Structure 1
Amino acid sequence: MSEASARHKPNDRPALLDTELDHLPPELRWREWMGRVEAVIFAANEPVPREVLARVVSKSCNLDLVIDDIRAELAGRPYELVSVAGGWQHRTKKAFGDIIHAAFGTAGQGTKELSQSEALVLMCIAYFQPITRGELSSFFGKEVSRDLIGVLRAQELIASGPRSPQPGAPYTYVTTKTFLTQFGLDTLRQLPDFEALEDAGLLSKEKLLAGGIPGDLASGKDEDDVVENQVP
């Protein structure tokens, strides 16, 4: 076999990786699995799904118990292992947020704090997706601008969803995996119940419909407004 044919593709699982570790006593085998799982999560730039972690441990290994043991060991550390966007990721604990901000200043490049209007529109997309820009505008009682939608898209918090069955087949908008990651959610089912928020007085659809939102939602129409409503 030539050297070239023996090479593995970058995403191939190493052929010689011993996942069973039968030569080790049970306790050391478990510790090795824990180390492998944590190393993979630590090295990743995004949440690592179960199927990726399963490549480095035995088929008989209970990944949930491995994660629990890693979390227990990190209890006294300033970072933790969290379940977000269908995977696991290392994150600094919220209690250290001010410390990190003091050390590094503003958020890193590529991130931007949302305005109140942007946050409200994002919230409505999260709860009522898939939803069109026209439906968002009707909800708020004023036009939701293409620029505002563009801000949320640029941060990859939302993406285009299926075409609406409405006349003109406008695009709908949905939240993304990045949205889940940014807000520390594993799935959308973890969003607070909308009715519970209303009952607690933390959110009022009536106030929103009455115009209880900032006035910077709207801007002039552009050519994309026409494109958005064209039938493909």
Structure 2
Amino acid sequence: MSDEHLRHLQAIAEAALLAAGKPLSLDQLRDLFPDDERPARQVMEHVMVQLSAACEGRGFELREVASGYRLQIREAYAPWVGRLFEDKPQRYSRALLETLALIAYRQPITRGEIEDIRGVTVSSNIIRTLLEREWVRVVGHRDVPGRPAMYATTRQFLDYFNLKGLDQLPPLSEIRDLEEIGREIEKNMQAEIEFETPDDARDDADSQTLH
């Protein structure tokens, strides 16, 4: 395959990723081509390596996350890009981050188990928000009285927090407490979405007694 053809495939992949505005897998990129022109997976993998190299020194990068590949602004330039938006996003509440961290590290886990560890009641609004954002999902029910739902993280969680897999989370041995886990997860955010409700604020205040 000629270098010119590889550059052509690279340009198509770049255009598709810019237009999609979301991660695309290798198969999704290959499906852009007719059957008789579809590049092999190995060829497409090579194209993505080339595209990644072409992004060096630029304001954006090619990043592989759980759902595939995406083009995104480099973290170093976020302060400048953020000035394009009038609304200043709020940080996630400490209570939500702690709940999400426990689900990520202890999954599958029930709401009652989260409450036992945190020492406070988990706001229903926090669970609802995590489910609505599709960061967590119900993966079954614990075989105990009441059959409580068990929660685990999703592919969307990995995508949003810029992770390819759960093995990219900071090792628990390097983290002292839930608050630090929340901060480590927050470092991987692609954007901060406004989230703060009276229920979360109250739950957050309660959690201050844990530390």
Which TM-score tier does this pair reach, normalised by the shorter chain? 0.7 to 0.9
Please identify which structure carries the higher helix content: 2
* Local SS of the residue matching 2:92: coil
TM-score, normalization by structure 1: 0.69
* Local SS of the residue matching 1:106: coil
Which structure would you say has the larger Rg? 1
| 8 Å contact kept, 1:50–1:87 | yes
Distance 2:118 2:76 in 1: 35
Moved over 3 A (4+): 213-217
Kindly provide the CA deviation profile for residues 98-132 of structure 1, in whole angstroms up to 9, marking residues without a partner as x: 11221213368xxx631111111111111111111
Aligned-residue CA RMSD in angstroms? 2.5
> Does structure 1 residue 27 correspond to structure 2 residue 10?
no
| 8 Å contact kept, 1:49–1:88 | yes
Query: Structure 1 unaligned runs (5+)?
Result: 1-24, 204-212, 218-232
> Does structure 1 residue 85 correspond to structure 2 residue 53?
no
* Structure 1 pair 197–63 and aligned structure 2 pair: CA distance change class (3 A): farther
Distance 1:190 1:159 in 2: 20
- Please tell me the residue identity of whatever aligns with 2:7: R
After alignment, is 143-152 or 126-135 more displaced? 143-152
Kindly provide the CA deviation profile for residues 183-219 of structure 1, in whole angstroms up to 9, marking residues without a partner as x: 10011121111123249xx56xxxxxxxxx94346xx
Query: Structure 2 unaligned runs (5+)?
Result: 182-202
* Structure 1 pair 157–60 and aligned structure 2 pair: CA distance change class (3 A): closer
* Structure 1 pair 93–86 and aligned structure 2 pair: CA distance change class (3 A): same
| 8 Å contact kept, 1:86–1:187 | no
* Structure 1 pair 156–105 and aligned structure 2 pair: CA distance change class (3 A): farther
* Local SS of the residue matching 1:62: helix
